[in-house]
Structure 1
């Protein structure tokens, strides 16, 4: 399985980078992981313009990387780790060999991105920093594959 994480912005904190690198290394046992870091616009004076610019970059990246699209969205559906592992397994069984996880910018994503997503996934009603969310996501991806492959990581 090919896993792409398409995200806006760069990781600045070393401890977060270290965690991401650790789980990326562990993921090698389950498939190919690629992280696409897109430029953050961050125009505080015109949030809508920022959302549109960042969303355009996301859509361009998705065009080059066809596959099942999962948008991290606070208004999305909540799953337990076991239920999400089952969803991931079903995606593969339905013929998709690539899953694109999308983390928008700090102002969110356009309605076009929301509509194009095959699944909108919420980790919580709480708001997390985007850098930390990337680490949480990659840990959960590793956990989901551990559940699917029945390894002892998930307890």
Structure 2
């Protein structure tokens, strides 16, 4: 199984890099876990709605270039479906079992995801109605992917 996490912008803080690296390492016994970073666009202040749309569109184009046609894509979106960790694990297992060994997760930049990225996604998921810094979300997502594999393997990590 191949898991790819695409996100916008570099990780600036060492502890976020370490967190993602740790869960990526832990996942290595279950899958090939790859992280892909696309360049973020500068955001002028003040930012008009039109400028925000242009920025998301440019970032969206960069994201879509990193997605292959065969990949099953989860977009992280605040309006997406909220899952428990067990439901998430079962969804990963279902996809792997039924012909989707390549799963991609997309985390947008500070403005969110362009509509064209949401349209390309096969599913939209949410980690709640809170807004998280995209750097923190990468670490949280990496941990939940690892947790899903641990749940599916029947280990007590989830307890």
State the TM-score, normalizing by the size of structure 2: 0.93
1:50 is the counterpart of 2:51: no
- Structure 1 runs of 4+ aligned residues shifted over 4 Å read none
Aligned length: 154
Instruction: Give the root-mean-square deviation of aligned CA atoms.
Output: 1.1
Residue 14 in structure 1 maps to residue 18 in structure 2: no
* Residue from 139, 142, 145 that aligns with 1:135: 139
2:33 maps to what in 1? 33
Deviation at 1:112, TM superposition (A): 1.3
Matches within 5 A, 1:76-87: 76-87=80-91
Task: Quote the residue 2:115 is aligned against.
Answer: 111
The match for 2:97 is 93
The unaligned stretches of length 5 or more in structure 2 are none
Normalised TM-score (structure 1): 0.95
Please list the CA deviations of residues 61-91 of structure 1 after superposition, one character each: whole Å capped at 9, or x if unmatched: 113x731000000000001000111111111
Runs of 5+ unmatched residues, structure 1: none
